[in-house]
Every structure is written in C-alpha cells, then in structure tokens.
Amino acid sequence: MSILIVDDAPDNLLLLQAILKSAGHAVVLTAESAREAFRHLGMDGADGTLEKSPEADLILMDLMMPEMDGLEACRRIKAVERLRDVPIIMVTANTDPEDLQAAFAAGAMDYITKPLRKVELLARVTSALNLKREMDARKSRERELAEKNRELEQTLQEVKVLRGFIPICASCKKIRDDKGYWQQIETYIQERSEALFSHSICKDCMKKLYPDLAEEP
C-alpha cells in the first residue's frame, strides 16, 4: 500500500520517508504543497474532480503549510467521494485542543505531534493502513453483492409468469394475447413460461374420437 507525505519542509519529508521505508513501506510518495498532493491524488486544481485513480492509501499531512494549510487540503480531499476512505493523519507541533478538533472536523482520522517519535509514527500508520484494507475489502464485497443483486433482478425480469385474467375461447379454447391475436393454448403458455408440452389424448376424447379403440368403463 502507498503512503503520501505532504510537508513544505524538505527535511521533514526525508525523515518521514526514511522511517517509513526502513519499516518496510515500499511506496512512499512526497509532496511539498497541497497542490502537488492533489496531483498525486488525481485531482485537478479547479474543482477537485478525480481525473484518475488515487496513488495513495494513506496521507500524512502537515498542518501548517503556506498557500494552503493542511486543514483546507484535508477538506478538499474529503469532498471528493472516491477519496473519502483514504485516511489522513495530521502531523503538527500544535496540540491546542481547538486546532485538533478542527483537524478532525476537516476529515482527519488521527494526528501525530512533532518532534516525531518513530514508534508512535509507525503504530499510527499501521493502524490507519489496516483500517484502509478493511474498508477496501468491505467495498469490494459490497460491489460483488450489488452485482449479484443486479444479476438476480435481471433474471427475475426474464422469468415469465402467467397471472391475471386470460381471455379464452369457450369453443376452440384458443387464448387471446395482449395484441388481440388468438393463439393455441400451448403456444401461448410456452411463450410465457418454461413449460414444455407432451401431447396425448384423454379418455373422454378417446371415446369421442376413437370409440372403437376406447377402453370400456
């Protein structure tokens, strides 16, 4: 899984990248601004529309950055539906409760304080990536279920069931279809069900049509 680090300080980027890679995280991307992070995530700079699949499964976002701070960047990322499940961890030296509350309100799932502590960083990153895996697996199951439901609905629509009033001739027993045409009863039923017919002659018809062959009662 890939991690995107967003920080305007090159030293912080290198430190975070080194810690994560040494812990076995192979794909660690970096961005020195929110705009650069948006490009990694496939967002254009205007309305945040997702142009391609995001390249990050987790974002480490510096809270204080020039031009656009981490709070605004977090809000814009979370406004894109396909990015809402990407966890964002704020990295900040500010532990003021109001600022942290604002970070959570913007969509951040966690925060890490500076100066960084390696054990805490890796623990929070592992927890966030595990959550992302669970969300991805859940969404995959939901897509599979939705596809199966769609197939089931299509199958049910294709099942032909006879119901309601059926106009039938009292003499020849033909049936009038929805277009007003008269059909043999077996033709009508076969077109509207999966029933198959095996023709035979009942005893009453046998006596009427073939009296010499009919069995005596």
- Domain chopping of the chain, boundaries: 2-151, 160-217
Question: What one-letter code names the amino acid at 105?
Answer: A
Q: Which two tokens stand for residue 96?
A: 């003021």
| Residue 90, strand partner residues | 61, 111
Please name the residue ranges forming H helices in 159-202. Answer: 185-191
Identify the pLDDT of residue 216: 56
Q: Which two tokens stand for residue 177?
A: 């279809």
pLDDT of the chain, 217 residues: tens digit per residue: 899 999 999 999 999 999 999 999 989 999 999 999 998 898 865 444 555 566 789 999 999 998 899 999 999 999 998 898 899 999 988 888 888 899 999 999 999 988 889 999 999 999 999 999 998 899 889 989 888 888 888 766 655 666 677 888 888 888 888 788 898 888 888 777 777 777 788 888 888 887 777 665 5
CA dihedral 40, 44, 50, 54 (to 10 degrees): 0
Identify the pLDDT of residue 4: 96
Q: What is the pTM of this model?
A: 0.66
∠ CA 66-53-140, nearest 5°, is 125
Q: Between the CA of residue 58 and those of 100, 148, 163, what are the distances in Å? A: 19, 30, 55
CA contacts within 13 A on the Cβ side of 12: 23
Q: Which CATH number describes the domain made up of 2-151?
A: 3.40.50.2300
